Structures are given as C-alpha cells and as structure tokens.
Amino acid sequence: MLLFNFIKATEMKKIYSVLSVCIVLLLAGCNDDFLDKAPLDQLSEPTTFTTDANFETYCWGFYNTFPGFGLTPTNNEWNGDLMLKGAGSIGQPYLWQNVVEPNNAGSWTDPYARIRRVNIMLSNIESSQLDEEGQKHWRSVGYFFRAWEHFQLLIKYGEFIYLDELVNEKDLDILYGPKTPRDEISANILSDLKYAEANIRTEGDNVVDQSVVRALISRFGLFEGTWRKYHSLGDETTYLRASADAGTTLTQSHPDLHANYDQVFNSTDLDGTEGILLYKAYEFGIMTHTHTSRHRNSAGNWDLTRRGANKFLCKDGETIWTSAQFEADPNAPEDAYAEFRNRDERLYYITPPPFKVIPSSDKLSWDYDPDPKHREYIDLMNSISDADHKGYPISNWKGLILKQEPHFRKRNKGQGFMVSYTGYRFHKYYNEFHTGIQNQEYTDFPIFRMGEVLVNLAEAKFELGEFDQATADLTVNKLRARGKVAALDINNFVDDPTRDADVDRVLWEIRRERAVELMGEGFRFDDIRRWRKAHEYGALEKLGRYVKNSNYGNKLPIQGGAAEGFVSPWGVPPGFPEHYYLYPIPLEELALNENLVQNTGWKEAE
C-alpha cells in the first residue's frame, strides 16, 4: 500500500540522517586520508543501490509526487468553465487576466528536484548487484517517474530543460542551457514510458506496475496528441496511437468497473476495488486529509456552474433541452426538484439534489417537512447510497443537520456551513465516515482508474478516425450504464442544441462523458487548453441556479440585475489571452539563466 510505502520512505530518511552524522564523526577522527575520501553525498550510494530490496526502499519516496486529497486538483478545475471557487470577490486569475509572473514556483522547481532523485538511482543500476531482470524493472520504475515529472512540466510550460542524466554543478552547459524543443521532450517521455511498459514487472501490490504505466501512456498520449493537433504542431498520430493502444490493452486486462460511482471516491479502503489501478491510502491517526471536512464546513466553497450541471444527461440519454423526461423549463428551471428528476445518477453524487427538513432542537436529528415534495430526494438518495456515504438529509462535520438544499451563502438561514454561491454545491467527496472528526479524514484517493482510461480511449480513437459503435460500447456506454443512462447509439441520437459548432457531434458526446465522469478531479482546465478552447469557454459567464430573488430576500446576485434569473456571482470575465495557454516561467529562473527564454507573451525577467 502507498501508505506503507510513504511510512517506509520516512523511516529511511531518518536512517540516512543518522548515518550521515555517524559518517561525519567517523571521518573527523581519521587522519589526513580524509582528503582522499569520496564526496560525502556519494558515500551511501554503494550501499544504497545494491539489492532489489534496496532499490524498492529508495523508490518509495518517488510516490510522494502523486496527488492526493488536497486543493491542487480542485484548484485546476476553478480555472475551467464547469466549476468555480465560491469565495472572494472575483473569479480565478486565469479567467480574469490576473495572472502575475511569479518570481519562483514549485510547479517548476519541484519536478526538477524529483527528477534528480530519479536520475541518481538510474545512474547506479548497472553497478548494483541486480540481475538483468531486476535492472530492467528498476530502470523502468525510474523511467516512469522521470516521465511523470517531465509530463507535469510539459502540461504547464510546453518547453523546458529536459534532463535524462544526472547533472552536477560542473554541467553548466546543461543547467544554464536553452530549453529543449517540445518534439524532443515528447519523444523522450514516450520512449521512457514504452521502455517501462515492456520491462516493468507486470503486477504489484498497489505500486507502479505495467497497468499503471499504460494508464500514464493513455493520459500523456491523449494530452500530447490533441495539443499537437489543435495547436497545429503536427505529429499528433504518434501520441494518439500510443494512448489508444495502451487504453485498449487495459480494457482487456481490467474489463470491469466498480458498480457504485460514489464509492470510488468515498471508501476507507480501495484495495481490490474493480477499476482502481493505483490509489493513495490514508489511515486515521497516521496519514489523513482534510477534503471531506471542506465539503462539510464553511471553508470549502466549491460549486458547479450551470454549464457543469447541464452536462449531465437525462436517463434516456438526451439533454435537458431535448428529453421528454426533463420536467423543468430548460431555459428557466426554477423548480429544482423537476430539474434533478430522471437525471444521470452521477449528478446526485456530485452536487446535492434539493430537499427540506425540520431539524430537531438539538439539530442532530430531524423530521420531514409537512410538504411531501421535499422528501423525494431523501428517499432517492437513501435508495442509492447509505448512512456512511450520502444518506439524506446531509449534515456538517459535527453532525448538525442541514435544513435544505439549495443552500446559498447569502441566504443560509443561520447555517453558515455547507453553503454555495451558485446553488450547485460540489460534494463529490462528501461522506459521513468522518462525522465528529474534522481535518483528519482517511478515505482513499484514486490516482489512476479505469474511468479515466475509458474516456481517454474514446477520445483518442475518435481523433484517430476509429471510433465506432463497438468502441462506444466499450467506453462511453460502460460509464453511462453506471449512471443509469441509456447507451449512446452513434448513428441515431438527438444532437445537443447547445453543442459547440466547431466540435463534431459524436466528439461532443465523448467530451461530455469526460466532463461528467472526471468532474472535480483536476482535468478540465488542461482539457480546454489542449483543445484550444480556453479562450472561448473561459470567456463564458459562470452562472448558477435559476431563482426568483424574492424567495431569497433579494440577496442573490442575478444575471443582469434581474428580479429572477440565473445566479451570477461575478459577471462576464474579460476573456482568456492567447499567451495564457502556457504558464509563465518563473522570473528567478530567467534571471539565473540568460539562455532560458520566457514563453511568448509573458514578461521577461528584468
């Protein structure tokens, strides 16, 4: 388990610290031969990199690079079009042209620190006691993590100094050289991953194995292939082919998904869960997170937009604008109960459907509201979930019962927790395992899962001109089935009247499925960047639920200042400039290296 891995890595750091002190004391008591000794930072390498177990221990530290429950993935969503952070007085900087070139940034320096650590290991493999199989395996593990780190830099900066060898202070021509061309970077990342796929051990106990390598190829190949296509760089087929091949192979070795979508993100143990390829394990009292608490207190403030909520189909597979099952006015859905009726069940897990109850005097229990309409989704949620997950009605981390949904920040009826700006509060990671515990949650985090692989495969196959009904059934329709949504018949479906005219109607449905399946997992902003759609979708007004403002004390910000309409927290953003597609290189890096050129459109170091 990764938890065990992380603990072991921490223990090894302590061991190395003690070892270093002992070495210093020993050398201080020696004669002038001390001057002929190897540099201190190399003394442990001959004993660190020897046996299979030694390499395994060293590699535990690499796993710290993976995301877990925290703000980073969610923060990426806020810069997209389907979610927002409901706090502050203005929207996210990438959508409001408020990005400032940083003096320094961990997104630039941290991957390099980890790449160096990987390259130290790689440089010691051939001199170790490993047999040929062991050398290939641990080289593959190193190549995987090196590819991962370079990929993180590629996503943000496009071009940078690629490091495929261990460099030191004497390697000034590399350390202070120019950026490596993107063609070379991408080819090297793919080469590392293909070697790893062919030579890494096939299966492991929640470690990087052949399936995990293929999952990263699926992700990287799709990103790079579509970026190249939509940004007119060329050679997209190489990467799309790699993504599709890896995804196809994974669907054969991992044909099943866990039946309950919500439990993929709200389980205290993902070990053995179908469709989970790698996860970060948490344990109460040892390694915990704060994500669920942020869904259950006043600090979260994460919302879906109307555009995000509208991505979810009705159960018949049609949109809210075309389905006979949609009982509200799609252009003015004031009735929240009708708006949520007959929808993709993933919607209920991602944003809470409406309800109203009467809390007891101690606020820890409740009674039904006299109007029976308010219990519709209480009954529904209790039929598709349970008391540990999303049983209804919901409560804050102390167990205080929430009176109603939607629950707006500016009209919260004395309950300042679990509030929303748009009326579509994000609660994908809400569960009740942790009632009575704040900021010490222990649900596991899926790092690589088949749900993502399937939407990657669907998109890659379409971009290659290979998406047919069999592929739809293998990918999109597996995911729809989990949400109780009718299958996509690519030759016979009703077109979405709100579809982007630049996007093929089938591709639009593939992208819709991706948006729904991966909502809130940190992909959307990078998706609209690689599709070169950020300047269009990022310029859209982020709207919320349709309301009559008089029902909320006329306290909600309504689009255009109207008496009723869609909630609009900030209005229309100014747009997404072209140079925002790539992040700015930190100014300190530019000042240190005169050969390093800032990405086009951003300010150079002074």
260 versus 289: the higher-pLDDT residue is: 260
Minimum mean pLDDT range among 72-76, 138-142, 453-457: 72-76
Query: Alpha-carbon distance 253 to 246, whole Å?
Result: 11
Q: State pLDDT tens for residues 285-321.
A: 999 988 888 889 888 778 999 999 999 999 999 999 9
Position 90 confidence tier, pLDDT thresholds 50, 70, 90? low
The residue length of the chain stands at 606
Task: Tell me if 399 is assigned to some domain.
Answer: no
Task: Supply the pLDDT for residue 17.
Answer: 30
Minimum mean pLDDT range among 307-316, 433-442, 483-492, 511-520: 433-442
What average pLDDT does the segment 261-268 reach? Answer: 96
What average pLDDT does the segment 199-216 reach? Answer: 95
What average pLDDT does the segment 51-60 reach? Answer: 95
Minimum mean pLDDT range among 17-21, 533-537, 599-603: 17-21
Amino acid at 477: N
Q: State pLDDT tens for residues 102-149.
A: 999 999 999 999 999 999 999 999 999 999 999 999 999 999 999 999
Residue 349, SS3? Answer: helix
CA distances 374 to 326, 345, 405, 414, 432, Å, are: 19, 19, 10, 20, 22
Q: What is the extent of the structural domain holding 183? A: 2-87+106-280
Task: Tell me if 463 is assigned to some domain.
Answer: no
Task: Supply the pLDDT for residue 299.
Answer: 81
- Bridge partners, 425 (sequence order): 303
Contact 179/214 with Cβ under 8 angstroms?
A: no
Position 20 confidence tier, pLDDT thresholds 50, 70, 90? very low
- Considering the chain, what percentage of its residues have pLDDT values greater than 70? 91
Query: 538 exposed, middle or buried (CB, 10 Å; 0-12, 13-18, 19+)?
Result: buried
What average pLDDT does the segment 29-55 reach? Answer: 60
Task: Supply the pLDDT for residue 26.
Answer: 30
Task: Supply the pLDDT for residue 412.
Answer: 81
Answer whether residue 41 shows pLDDT above 60. no
21 versus 407: the higher-pLDDT residue is: 407
Task: Tell me if 218 is assigned to some domain.
Answer: yes
Highest-pLDDT range among 58-72, 170-184, 213-227: 213-227
Residue 199, both tokens: 């030579």
Task: Tell me if 481 is assigned to some domain.
Answer: no
Tokens 């440089």 identify what position? Answer: 123
Answer whether residue 89 shows pLDDT above 80. no
Task: Supply the pLDDT for residue 88.
Answer: 61
- Backbone φ, ψ for residue 18 (5° rounding): -65, -40
- Name which of 232, 231, 219 is nearest 189 in CA terms: 219
Task: Tell me if 487 is assigned to some domain.
Answer: no
Q: How many CB atoms within 10 Å of residue 396? A: 20
Position 346 confidence tier, pLDDT thresholds 50, 70, 90? very high
Task: Supply the pLDDT for residue 257.
Answer: 98
CA distances 19 to 25, 47, 338, 534, Å, are: 10, 12, 66, 51
Contacts of the segment 191-196: beta carbons below 8 A, 24+ positions apart: 192/143, 192/144, 192/146, 192/147, 193/143, 193/144, 193/147, 193/217, 193/220, 193/242, 194/242, 195/139, 195/140, 195/143, 196/140, 196/141, 196/143, 196/144, 196/147
Task: Supply the pLDDT for residue 5.
Answer: 37
Residue 399, SS3? Answer: coil
Contact 356/337 with Cβ under 8 angstroms?
A: no
Rg, Å, the chain Cα set: 26
Task: Supply the pLDDT for residue 188.
Answer: 98
Query: 569 exposed, middle or buried (CB, 10 Å; 0-12, 13-18, 19+)?
Result: buried
Task: Supply the pLDDT for residue 73.
Answer: 58
- Name which of 406, 51, 476 is nearest 251 in CA terms: 476
Amino acid at 404: Q
Query: Alpha-carbon distance 406 to 395, whole Å?
Result: 14
Task: Supply the pLDDT for residue 451.
Answer: 98
Task: Tell me if 580 is assigned to some domain.
Answer: no
Counted domains in the chain:
1
Task: Tell me if 173 is assigned to some domain.
Answer: yes
Task: Supply the pLDDT for residue 6.
Answer: 36
Give the CATH number, domain containing residue 197. Answer: 1.25.40.390
The mean pLDDT of the chain is: 90
Task: Tell me if 212 is assigned to some domain.
Answer: yes
